[in-house]
Amino acid sequence: MFDWFAQLGRSAIDFFARLGSEVLLFLQAIAAFKALVFRPALIIQQLFSIGVRSMLIIIVSGFFVGMVLGLQGYNTLIDFGAEESLGVMVALSLVRELGPVVTALLYAGRAGSALTAEIGLMKATEQLSGLEMMAVNPVERILAPRLLAGIISMPLLAAMFSAVGVFGGYLVGVDMLGVDTGAYWSQMQARVDFEQDIIQGVIKSVVFGVVTTWIAVYEGYTCLPTSEGVSRSTTRTVVYSALAVLGLDFLLTALML
Amino acid sequence: MPNSRILEISVGIFVAVGIAALLVLAVNVSNVSGFSAGSQYTITANFDDVSGLKPRSAVSIAGVTVGRVTSIVVDPETYEAVVAMTIDARFNDVPVDSSVGIYTAGLLGEKYVGIEPGGAPDVLEEGSVIRLTQSSIVLEKLISQFLFSQSDKKEE
């Protein structure tokens, strides 16, 4: 009987201890941002491996998602004789939802898993302890630049995704299926609002950038220093990031709409 | 890791492309030009019925958008809807006896305010009130009027 309560208590304590350590580490990493001002080379290196290397997959996926939206949207809208609204449909679904969300999911798979594996391996090969021995704070040297680079990259990647997607939709809708060019752009411009839609998308992508990068970095930093531990943490990064992004997307949409 | 020069250049390209994409979204996808509005003036008009009209709806002359609806409130005494709209200062010689109506773009489209210029020598300026207004057409009212007139005919 009491064993059961003890177990419940232990898991609750563990949960809050983990939450507390996560929040503390996050605050430490945020506080370490100001030290990065003097070391821009660290951020540039991370921007390269997180942002530049994710660019290709994001642009190609954005293009295909835009083209699919163009095809599907056209086939539905033509039933109502509203194919002129194709531009609005493509642009709104990309800017508000698909841009930030799909970019975040791809980013978690492409960059997040790499981050976790990298930091996890550093831990497994005792490079992090080595840094500490040399009086270099690993939070400042390893975690903070990666977190900052992720937060910077994410909105930029999401914007690229949406912009390329709009052109993909244009290619299919206007060039292939024969929607009027003027209608495609003018209806889009008339209906898509800068503050309402585009800024909302940017806010979402910044939030997703913080969350996915943080999950990746934290999982790497706290993984078991074995090859199995690294592989498990990498899996967890992708799973947690995907869940967090989809859940937060609902929450943010409900709050901002 | 490639050497730092190539690294910096590629990161620079990444950031530039990202910002360019944001600009494309801002300028090409949404229309920010109304955002950086130059000088404007505000006029108001009282309508009996504005159903369907919303703030940010277009105000147009001859089908060309010249401004936006900024607010719609009810006058507590006359129970009329007071529609305030800003007009781009480029269109500063609209005659003061112009009439405004609420129309629908297409069969199921959005409502907009159309200004039909009159012929008076005086022009609308900041704070002017337009007297001649035509209310929004409510389909249900039209249908019920039509039905009543049909039944009246039968009785005769």
From chain B, the residues in CB contact with A55 under 8 A are 14, 17
On whether both A108 and A54 belong to a single domain, the answer is yes
Among candidate residues A116, A104, A107, A110, the one with its CA nearest the CA of residue A143: A116
List B102's β-bridge partners, or say none.
B113
CB-based contact (8 Å) between A176 and chain B? Answer: no
Cα Dmax for chain A: 73
CB-based contact (8 Å) between B9 and chain A? Answer: no
pLDDT of B129 strictly over 90: no
On whether both A107 and A162 belong to a single domain, the answer is yes
Whether B103 and B58 have beta carbons less than 8 Å apart is answered as no
Query: How many whole angstroms separate alpha carbon A240 and alpha carbon A184?
Result: 38
Query: How many whole angstroms separate alpha carbon B110 and alpha carbon A69?
Result: 24
Query: How many whole angstroms separate alpha carbon A216 and alpha carbon A234?
Result: 8
From chain B, the residues in CB contact with A45 under 8 A are 1, 7
List B133's β-bridge partners, or say none.
B100
From chain B, the residues in CB contact with A159 under 8 A are 18-19, 21-22, 25
On whether both A15 and A123 belong to a single domain, the answer is no
On whether both A238 and A132 belong to a single domain, the answer is yes
Residue A125: which domain range?
42-256
CB-based contact (8 Å) between A217 and chain B? Answer: no
pLDDT of B118 strictly over 90: no
On whether both A210 and A249 belong to a single domain, the answer is yes
CA A141 vs. chain centroid, Å, equals 22
Contact A156 B22 (CB under 8 A): yes
Q: Which pLDDT score, from 0 to 100, does residue B35 have?
A: 44
On whether both A116 and A46 belong to a single domain, the answer is yes
Q: Which pLDDT score, from 0 to 100, does residue B32 have?
A: 64
On whether both A218 and A154 belong to a single domain, the answer is yes
Residues in chain A with pLDDT values less than 50: none
The answer to the question of residue A37 being in a domain is no
Q: Which pLDDT score, from 0 to 100, does residue B137 have?
A: 77
pLDDT of B29 strictly over 80: no
Percentage of chain B lying above the pLDDT 90 cut: 5
On whether both A186 and A150 belong to a single domain, the answer is yes
Query: How many whole angstroms separate alpha carbon A159 and alpha carbon A165?
Result: 10
Q: Which pLDDT score, from 0 to 100, does residue A66 have?
A: 94
Domain boundaries, chain B: 1-36, 38-143
Q: Among the residues of A96-226, which ranges form H helices?
A: 99-107, 113-124, 127-133, 138, 144-170, 181-191, 199-221
Contact B35 A194 (CB under 8 A): yes
Q: Which pLDDT score, from 0 to 100, does residue A157 have?
A: 94
> How close A206 comes to chain B (CA, Å)?
13
Q: Which pLDDT score, from 0 to 100, does residue A186 have?
A: 80
Q: State phi, psi for B101 to the nearest 5 degrees.
A: -140, 160
pLDDT of B156 strictly over 80: no
Among candidate residues A112, A135, A124, the one with its CA nearest the CA of residue A237: A112
Contact A160 B7 (CB under 8 A): no
Residue of B nearest to A45 (CA): B7
Domains in chain A, number: 2
On whether both A25 and A129 belong to a single domain, the answer is no
Q: Which pLDDT score, from 0 to 100, does residue A93 have?
A: 92
CB-based contact (8 Å) between B148 and chain A? Answer: no
Q: Is the ipTM of this complex over 0.85?
A: no
Instruction: List, for residues B57-115, the tens digit of each pLDDT value.
Output: 888 888 888 888 888 899 898 888 899 988 888 888 888 888 888 888 776 677 888 88
CB-based contact (8 Å) between B10 and chain A? Answer: yes
